[in-house]
Structures are given as structure tokens and as C-alpha cells.
Chain A
Amino acid sequence: MYEAPHIVLPKINGIHNVDVYIANGGYSAYRKALAMSPDQVTDEVKKSGLRGRGGACFPTGLKWSFMPKGNEKPKYLAINGDESEPGSFKDRQIFEENPHQLIEGILIAGYAMGIKTAFIYIRGEYHKWVDCMQTALDEAYAKGFVGERMKQTFGGDYSMEILVHKGAGAYICGEETSLMSSLEGDRAYPRYKPPFPANKGLWGMPTTINNVETLATVPPILAMGASAYASIGAAGHSGTILYGVSGHVNKPGVYELVTGTLLSEIIYDVCGGVPGGKAVKAVIPGGSSMPPLRGDELDGVRMDEEYLKKIGTHIGTAGIMVMDEDTDIVAVTLRIARFYHHESCGQCTPCREGCGWMEKVLHRFAHSNATFSDIDLLYNVASNIEGNTICALGDAAAWPVKGFIEKFRGEFEARCRPDRSLISLNVVHGRRNTAETLVTTLT
């Protein structure tokens, strides 16, 4: 059933249906897991090199091993299907096309960690995909694959209950501790870590949070074996990824490819290049929170975390946003800042105020009414948010703003009023290579 690179979304018609899924070997990976001890399953996932697909790229097996053993306390699994990071639209493909593989992954994860209750949290806007997932879950319950009857179906005495929970429109709910607050029925405020969810999560109990795609990748790992999976894709970040490509390409969409695929290959071969044969000005490689790349930096860029980290950005959710040569970078940066300002939950001063300031300052650039020192001001505000907040939304807001200034400083300079002070206090960073633009604005 699993042939790289079509592992998470196999090219099999009607696989969303439980009978088709079973006919193609579905739920046999779970049987395989049951024949092992829970720790062996976790080890297998560790060995596979699987890393989380929700944005932080955390090693999945390692995360599972943080969960306390024993059954004195209830433990919970939360499946993160909030998918609100601009540029990300891959999890809905799993809800629609291969929901049973997600359910099977949840069962395997639950067995490995001794968890008996799981919640699939899906963003509120995904009405249709909530229904897809619920239909699949009802089918699985009816077949006795989930719930008390699992014990008869599969033998052994492990069983799990799974519930679909629908959000109601708030980007922050994708952040794991915010998701927990939301699920518990409170305002979805993120919580300070530590304590980490593995110690004190949902309702104060040990909890693991995994992304939808992460768990949907687990059954193939069990089915093909950890070493076979580890040999797919890039070293240090193995497997396949659902790349969501959007923006200025001829064929946008979700493509499952191995990790380490060349970015240029994705843009030009897989997605048919840029409309009108235009040049690429910028690419955001992993959803709106990640620092951008310049069009002239794309040669040889490989889409895996280890490579991207080396060049100052991250794989994130693998939501690739492509911008052609006519794109107004200032407008894009402003739109991103506006988004984070809107979505900040307001708990921490640096994030609540800083995101607002960034938006305000960027408005000055958008109206070509900024001063040169505004560039440093903007960079400074972003730097003061970064690392000083409860959750990573602060970083997510700061990174793209800093990244766009570093990579496209000339575009910002061009929006400064020439009659204003040209003495730019360029104290914050040294990565400016655009003195040329400075001179042209001068004259």
C-alpha cells in the first residue's frame, strides 16, 4: 500500500472509505503494533526519524517517550487539526482523502503511550472536513475499530475513545497550550511552559499533542519498518512531507514529496513554474511565520529542516508561498503583521503591543511616508517581541518582519520620504547590502 513518495496520501481511489482502506491493508499496522510492547512501538517511531509536521519539527518518538508510564492517572492525546497558519492547507487533504490512516495512527500512538482518550481538534472554518472526519470515525466505531469493541476486534485489552472537537475561529488555538485551554472550555489563552503538557496538560493530566499529518505518517512507519522509512528523504529529517504550494505558481496545491526535495524542482517542475514566466522575488518556505528567502537564493535549496536551518529559516508547516517579481514586499509584510496583530491573544505586553506597533510602522512604509530610522525601529520592535512572550506567536510575528527587512531592505528604503533625515542609525544589524538603493533614493 505504501510506496514513496505517496505514503500519507496513497494514490488509491476511494481510500477515505473504511472498506477500501481495509482492502488495501488498512488497520494492519495497528495489529502489528499490538504484537509489540508499547515501548517498542515508541522506539520504532524514534528510529524512523519522524519529526512533527505541525511547525516545530520536534522528534515524535522522543515526544512520546516524555509521557509518564503507568495508568494511575488518565492521559490524553490531542490531535492538532487547527491548521490556521497562512499558507498551510495540507491537513484538510488528510481529513478528506485518508481519514482512516489518521485514526489508525491515533490508535498506535494511544497504545504506545497508554492513552485511552483522544480529541481531534479541527478549526471551525473546516465545516466540510469536520464532517469528513466524523463520518470516518463513525465508520470505524461501527466496525469495532475504535471504542470498547476494539478489544474483541483486535484482541488484547487496550481500547480508545476518539472525539472530534470543532474550533470557532482563532489562529492561536493551533498553539498546543492554547488548544488545551480551548478544549477545556476556557478562553484559549496559551500557558507558560514548563510545566510541559506531558506532565500537566489537559485537565491537569499528562497529554501529548501531535499534528494530523504527523500521526497519519505513523501507520506506514509501522507497516514498512522504521529503517525503511528512515531511508526515505533527507538525513536528519526523513520521510515524505505534504508540501502546500500557493501564490504565484501555475499549479498550486498539496504535493507529497520526499524531504530534501529541491525547492526549485517543486516550483518549476512540480508546480509548473511562475505564471507569465516571471522571475521569483521571494519564497516563504514553511507558512507565514517563517523567514523568507530571496529569489536569487533558491539555487540548491533543499526542503528539509536541517538544510533550511542552515540558511536561516525553517520547514515549518511546509506551506510554500511563492511571490513573483511584481510583488510588493512592503504590502506583504504589512499584511503578515496585520494578521499577527489580529490573532495575538493579548496576554503578553511585547506581543500585544509590539504586533500593533509593527503594523502601525508598516503602514507608514505602505504610504511611502516612513523615515529611514523607521526601518531600525521596526527591526527593534520585532527583536523585542522575539523570545519575550508566553507562546511562540510572538516569534512567529517577529521572524517574517525581521526576515523581510534583512532580505529586502531596499524595498523598505524606497518607501522612505527623501526629504526626511537620511542619517540612518543602522545599529541593529549588519546584513545590509543595499547601500546602492540608499544612494538612488538620495538623489
Chain B
Amino acid sequence: MSTTFSTDELQSIEALKAKYPDPKAAIMPVMWMAQKKWGWLSEDVMQEVARAMELPYVHVLGVASFYTMYFKKPMGRHHVQVCTNISCMLRGGEALYAHAKDRLGIGHNQKTDDSRFSLEEVECMGACGGAPMIAINETFHENASKEQMDALLDACT
């Protein structure tokens, strides 16, 4: 797989840069684009982001490593996130996380060998009223139970 943005993508990157007073500010949306396309930010991907953004590679690496949501290694197709912060902890978040670890056989920020799943113990996701909550990729599932988690995981292909 080649790690280059298409001409269309490069065009939308230029459009993004033009939206901010300083083009550097487009780095976060561009990294989101890159992660969507390639799944995670490998060195090659970050080099490509650096080229498109006309920024040094180290800057891209520095920004990528500051945030938890930019993946610095390959993750599963279904990224399972379980919150264990206070509100979720009070309502069984830790047991849910233990269940996810057991069931998937992996730990924090690991993926299964078949790349179907990856797991992350996350900090508060801003859904505390629906504690305990889990998220699979971009979708929140609130008031979660082990049974519900099992059903959700079964449905992931």
C-alpha cells in the first residue's frame, strides 16, 4: 500500500490549510484524514503528513504522540474502549473492562492476532450519566452490561 495522499485529498488539505490564519493549524484534521485512510499513523504516514503540511517530520511526530486518539501502532478493525473513570467505576466499569480483557484475551492498547479487535481502557469519555459506558470505534454504548457487551462484540465482523 502506497502512503501518498491522492490529488483530491491534497486539494482538500490545501482547502483546510486556507481555513486557518496559519496553515499549521490544519495538522489535526489532516492527521484525522490520514488515520481514517491508513488506520494508524506509521512513520511513512507521518512523513506523508509532514510533506503535505510542509512541516518537519519531528513536528508531526510530536503532535501525534501528544494525543491518545492518534494510533501509533496498528489497531483492530473494532477498537473497543471501556471507561473506568469515577462515574463508570462507581457503576461497574472496572468489571466490564476485566470482562473485555478476558473475553478478547488482550490488554490495554493491544490487538488480537486476527486484527479483529483492539482494546483500550479509556479515561472519562464525557458520557458519565450513562455509566458504565463503552465505545466501539466511534459509537458510544451507554448503560452497558456484560451481556450487552458480549452481544455487541459478537456482532463485530
Residues of chain A at the chain B interface (Cβ within 8 Å): 74, 76, 83-89, 91-92, 117, 123-128, 163, 165-171, 182-188, 202-203, 244-248, 252-254, 284, 288, 319, 321, 323, 327, 331-332, 335-336, 339, 342-343
Contact = CB atoms under 8 A, between A and B. Distances in A.
B80 to A, nearest CB: 14
Given A117-B21, A246-B128, A86 B26 contact: no
A374 to B, nearest CB: 22
Interface stretch (B62-70, B99-107, B109-117): B62-70
Task: Kindly name the residue among B19, B26, B85, B130 whose own CB sees the greatest number of chain A CB atoms within 10 A.
Answer: B85
Contacts of A117: 21
Given A125-B126, A327-B90, A168 B131 contact: no
B68 A185 contact: no
Contacts of A246: 87, 90, 128-129, 131
Interface string B21-45: 1101111110110000000000000
Contacts of B138: 127-128
Task: Kindly name the residue among A76, A245, A335 whose own CB sees the greatest number of chain B CB atoms within 10 A.
Answer: A335
Contact of B123 (A92, A126, A171, A186): A171
A332 B89 contact: yes
Task: Kindly name the residue among B26, B67, B127, B140 whose own CB sees the greatest number of chain A CB atoms within 10 A.
Answer: B67
A319 B129 CA distance: 10
Given A168-B28, A168-B31, A185-B25, A88 B128 contact: yes
A168 B69 CA distance: 5
B26 A185 contact: yes
A187 B126 CA distance: 22
Contacts of A76: 21
Interface string B117-144: 0000011111111110001001110000
B69 A169 contact: yes
A16 to B, nearest CB: 18
Nearest to B127: A89
B84 interface: yes
A86 B22 CA distance: 32
Given A168-B28, A184-B25, A87 B123 contact: no
Task: Kindly name the residue among B22, B63, B123, B131 whose own CB sees the greatest number of chain A CB atoms within 10 A.
Answer: B123
Given A247-B91, A321-B90, A126 B131 contact: no
A123 B87 CA distance: 19
B28 A125 contact: no
A248 B31 CA distance: 39
Contacts of B20: 163
B86 interface: yes
Given A127-B138, A128-B138, A245 B28 contact: no
Contact of A86 (B25, B31, B70, B128): B128
Interface of B: 19-22, 24-29, 31-32, 62-63, 66-70, 84-87, 89-91, 122-131, 135, 138-140
B61 to A, nearest CB: 10
A184 B21 CA distance: 9
A53 to B, nearest CB: 15
13 contacts: A84-B126, A86-B87, A87-B86, A89-B127, A128-B138, A166-B32, A185-B26, A247-B128, A288-B85, A321-B86, A321-B90, A323-B90, A343-B123
A336 B67 contact: no
A169 B124 contact: no
B90 A124 contact: no
A84 B21 contact: no
B126 A92 contact: yes
Nearest to B84: A335
A163 B25 CA distance: 12
A285 B48 CA distance: 46
A202 to B, nearest CB: 8
Contacts of B66: 170, 187-188
Contacts of A169: 67-70
A66 B29 CA distance: 31
B15 to A, nearest CB: 12
A73 to B, nearest CB: 11
A140 B122 CA distance: 34
Given A170-B68, A203-B21, A248-B90, A319 B128 contact: yes
A183 B122 CA distance: 23
B123 A185 contact: no
Contacts of B123: 84, 86, 171, 339, 342-343
Nearest to B22: A203
Contacts of A284: 86
B69 A125 contact: yes
A288 to B, nearest CB: 6
Contacts of A74: 21
